[in-house]
Structure 1
Amino acid sequence: MHEYIDSTYDEHYSKNKYQATEFIIDGGHGEGFCIGNIMKYAQRYGKKNGKDKSDLLKVLHYGIIALHVHDMENSE
């Protein structure tokens, strides 16, 4: 999982210094964004390119980000 997450920072969405997800989280929309992506990739699994493992990895990745957002918002 760690290798997968590290590899996402080399993909086309991260050519700039910051990932778009960071701006979404900073704007206060991180939880909804992550939950929406978890639902999207969970529902897509098995439909696009068959049982694509990358869809499951994305579900886990967004779950980890959602936990991070939860911890940031509930750290008090």
Structure 2
Amino acid sequence: MSKENLKLIVIFLALAVIVIVLGVYAGNVLFGDRSLSVLKSLQEERYFLHKDINRLKDENARLQKLYLEREILDNEVQK
């Protein structure tokens, strides 16, 4: 084996290791804990929670209005 062949083999092995490491990293990013599917799921959950918060605020306002109306009626009946 000549020095040139040995040098080419070392370069090839180094490039192979780099490609494997980058492949594992890319796989982890795409399918791991920080994946795109997790991000989409969290965005959908956030949207659902914001809708639920607005619904609960509206329901709370309606119930407070009903409570105050009944409180006023009870006060008028007691007088």
* TM-score with structure 2 setting the length: 0.31
Task: Give 1 or 2: higher helix fraction.
Answer: 2
Structure number with greater CO (CA < 8 Å, separation at least 6) is 1
